[in-house]
Structure 1
């Protein structure tokens, strides 16, 4: 069973470069859309162990958020072997999360 990771900046860099399939979610704890998305992210991590799922708090790591231009939250990025292949902004359904992960 996989779980959602909350890495430091150093851990983020290592995970970013060393995973075949990565879902990065930029979020803020005070954001209603992020709070609504959280259970879907947890479920996705459990049901799709082939993907590494990590959440980055934009308030704790503003430089990472800026690097990814994560100005809207939640901002989700699918990364395959160090290359961003998909970007999605705002709240999405669970089925949409699965879809963007598989594309």
Structure 2
């Protein structure tokens, strides 16, 4: 999951959808159920550039307004959907974080 600034999102045109979905409660329930079933629950940091980073080539945009839903990577020329890009980046970061979580530092 991604740790989003719920208060900040409430000031956008997504406010009603976020309230209807009870986003904070959803995250709380996911963490609770993961613990209950012995699963790993991981949240990406709020400042993780999930939607601004190209998952294949690693190019990172300096800024990407919330109103921009698709963007073209200046490095490789691919067109990306903001949400799909974020999902791929969060999944990759979560897999890395959970795979290395139990290892002791060398």
Fold-level similarity (TM above 0.5): no
TM-score with structure 1 setting the length:
0.30
The one of the two structures with greater contact order (alpha-carbon pairs below 8 A, sep at least 6) is 1
Q: In terms of Rg, which structure is larger?
A: 2
TM-score with structure 2 setting the length:
0.29
Q: Tell me which protein shows more strand as a share of its residues.
A: 1
